Amino acid sequence: MTFWIMAALLMIFAALFVLAPLYVVREKAENPEELDKAIYKARKAEIENDLAIGRIDADTARAAIAEESRKLIAAVEQAPGAPSANLALSRIIALAGIVSVPVVAVALYLHAGNPQIPDQRLAERQAGNLENQRIEELVARAEAHLAAKPDDVRGWQVLAPVYSRMGRDQEAAQAWANVLRLAPQIPEVKANLAESLVAVAGGVVTAEAGRLFTEELETNKASAKARFYLAMAKGQEGKHAEAVTLWDALISGGTDQSPWMEAARTFRKESASLAGITPARGNQPGPTEEQVEEAASLSAEERKEMISTMVAGLADRLEDDPTDREGWKRLVRAYIVLGDSDAAKTSAEKAIAANAQETAFVAEMKSVLDQLRGQEPVQPASPTDDQAGSGSDTQ
């Protein structure tokens, strides 16, 4: 009861502070129109006095009086409404505001601020607005949900990456382990779990993580994540030459837009340096400067033999790494330049068999096969300087 008494007194004092200035205004305020009329009469008397003493002539006096009359009429027309009417309207508006504000305030208080309202659960209040909640609050809600429903695969699958972004790698690994336990058929689940284990180990590809990456590749050969970490594992084991081979296979299957490409090239360069592999001996798309100079000084037959040697080297490398799609393209083009259509057909068929999941690449190779099957046997071309350059591109 004391609360309501104090609230009523405060409301009365606030109303008095608002209404008092409106009711102490003088009722008989001076009218602006009367002031304008007095000015007009004074100016007219001054003009008539100037006329009487001969300071101005009659025409000038009439024109001056007419101008003062015009000013009086304009002032009367522009004058605001009656002060009493404006004051009454102001009092009505102020009174309406003073009455409505307490009514609205009391209604809102009884709805949301009344201490007699029963307690509301925190979860119910939080559920009202998700957009304004912090990530920690959303994670806490998800954890509470999964504690009640631990078999919710989708919940664990959503929460695991959030844990990783927050740096909670151990929780992320446990979340991915739950996904693997509940739905092992989900793509990349083993690779994701293994990646979290690598993060927990401070970047080291542990034996458990390596096993999971290998199992991922058994069912998902296109998993760039598994191939990336397995190549990294070879480097961590000191097997840098093997690591270079794995990095080359991964890089050849990606594009410059692949999110892992820059890191893969950096690791590949480090492994090649540690393995003693110079750039000229690496997996380069074209010939070295020495090879170009050597090819220019050879005869046609010697140049053709050199190109054949390079093609054979590329073919051998593709036997070890059949996922190098760009390598297959270069090999097929090289056989066509050499006039060996049968070898070109065989290489295209091997490329299709080794990369059956790559739809665009398979379609390109099938197009080449159709062209080869629909033409007469290709005669060996004269190994001109341009052809030598094309063949050298196969190294």
Among the ranges 114-123, 229-238, 285-294, 352-361, which has the highest mean pLDDT value?
229-238
The tens digit of pLDDT for each residue in 90-127 reads 767 777 777 777 778 777 777 666 666 665 555 555 55
- What pLDDT was estimated at residue 253? 81
Domain ranges of the chain: 2-107, 289-392
User: Which residue stretches of the chain are H helix?
Assistant: 2-23, 32-52, 58-78, 83-108, 122-126, 135-148, 153-165, 169-182, 189-200, 207-219, 224-236, 240-252, 261-275, 289-296, 300-320, 325-338, 341-354, 359-373, 385-392
The answer to whether residue 339 scores a pLDDT higher than 80 is no
The tens digit of pLDDT for each residue in 131-187 reads 556 888 888 888 998 999 999 999 999 999 999 988 999 999 999 999 999 999 998
- Report DSSP letters for 270-339, one per residue: HHHHHHT--GGGS--SS--HHHHHHHHTS-HHHHHHHHHHHHHHHHHHHHH-TT-HHHHHHHHHHHHHHT
- What pLDDT was estimated at residue 22? 65
Mean pLDDT of 245-272: 88
Distance (Å) of CA 310 to CA 74, 188, 331? 104, 38, 10
Mean pLDDT of 37-55: 86
CA nearest neighbour of 331 among 249, 394, 252, 282:
394
Specify whether domain 289-392 bears CATH 1.20.120: no
- What pLDDT was estimated at residue 175? 93
Apex 291 CA angle, 326 and 307, nearest 5? 60
Q: What percent of the chain has pLDDT over 90?
A: 22
Q: What percent of the chain has pLDDT over 70?
A: 74
The answer for residues whose C-beta is within 8 angstroms of residue 156's C-beta and 6 or more apart is 146, 175, 176, 178, 179, 182
Please give the residue that has the higher pLDDT: either 181 or 82: 181
The answer to whether residue 199 scores a pLDDT higher than 70 is yes
The answer to whether residue 343 scores a pLDDT higher than 60 is yes
| HEC letters along 6-30 | HHHHHHHHHHHHHHHHHHCCCCCCC
